Amino acid sequence: MTLGTPAERRLRFASCSHVAFAVTMIAFGVFGLVKGNFTPLWTGVPKELPAREGLAYFCAFISVASGVGLLWSRTASIAARVLFISFLVWLLVFRAPLIFRAPFVTVTWWACAETGLMVAAAWVLSVRFSDDRVRNDSLIAGHRGLSIARSLYGLALIPFGVAHFTYLERTVGMVPAWLPWHLAWACFTGGAPIAAGVAILVGVYARLAAVLSAVEVGLFTVLVWIPVIAAGANASDWSEFVSSWLLTAAAWVVADSYRGTSWFAIGKR
């Protein structure tokens, strides 16, 4: 009985994380095509940019096509690389310049971190579905690429945690009413991403840190934003919910890349 090609075998045993990520890309791509505008996945484009509407449709098409491609063994590698390159270009062209314009504004680093996390997730998938003939030190698809992608994820977590403290009053107000000690929870949920990001960067308990950070983002989506949406949300709330959903899917992909490694390894990423 044949086991199929290496790519087919990898896709067959791939975790649910990449499927969830792919479905998320498809869903928001379709939404972008219907809306005819940028979704929270692709934001930060100046209103005066020529052909802005065309770029919005193009980004939506990339989301749909890449999402579908990730679900098919023959195109998974190409789809992952298209997403990786697209998010990387977005980070460099529309996000990174914000740091030079307003380096001391928290939302600047938050925006960069959001796109950086998406880059990291797409990068991890590029490694997962890379051809077996690719050298292990390949920057995009080898072990070195995977290490850099994880480091980028860890780096992206830190601004999320900092924002909890910068906007502490708002963070406290978002803690579910049924939980006690709102201030303590707000500080904990701010400190945890920072600690996880540092742990991943230095390679101390990296797998544990990645998994727990993904769990936190997921719980934030479920416990905070779903009740807000259910109660009747405004446009800003919907945007926050969508962003949280996207970050949850991306964080899950990166955390799953540590599968098979020790939970308490030190000195490895």
Q: pLDDT per residue over 192-208, tens digit each?
A: 999 999 999 999 899 99
- Domain ranges, residue 145: 6-256
Would 35 be classed as within a structural domain? yes
Query: pLDDT-derived band of residue 268, with 50, 70 and 90 as boundaries?
Result: low
DSSP 126-189: HHHT--TTS-TT-TTTSHHHHHHHHHHHHHHHHHHHHHHHHTHHHHHHHS-TTSS-HHHHHHHH
Would 265 be classed as within a structural domain? no
Task: Specify the range with the lowest mean pLDDT, choosing from 5-19, 88-102, 209-223, 224-238.
Answer: 5-19
Would 89 be classed as within a structural domain? yes
Would 29 be classed as within a structural domain? yes
Would 1 be classed as within a structural domain? no
User: Helix, strand or coil for residue 242?
Assistant: helix
Phi, psi (rounded to 5 degrees) for 205:
55, 40
How many independent structural domains does the chain possess?
Answer: 1
Rounded Cα distance between 220 and 84, Å, is 26
Query: pLDDT-derived band of residue 102, with 50, 70 and 90 as boundaries?
Result: confident
Does residue 157 surpass a pLDDT of 50?
Answer: yes
Is 128:14 a contact under the CB 8 Å cutoff?
A: yes
Is 56:42 a contact under the CB 8 Å cutoff?
A: yes
pLDDT at residue 91 in the model: 94
Query: pLDDT-derived band of residue 3, with 50, 70 and 90 as boundaries?
Result: very low
- Comparing CA positions, the residue from 251, 239, 244, 224 lying closest to residue 40 is 239
Does residue 9 surpass a pLDDT of 60?
Answer: no
Would 201 be classed as within a structural domain? yes
Would 261 be classed as within a structural domain? no
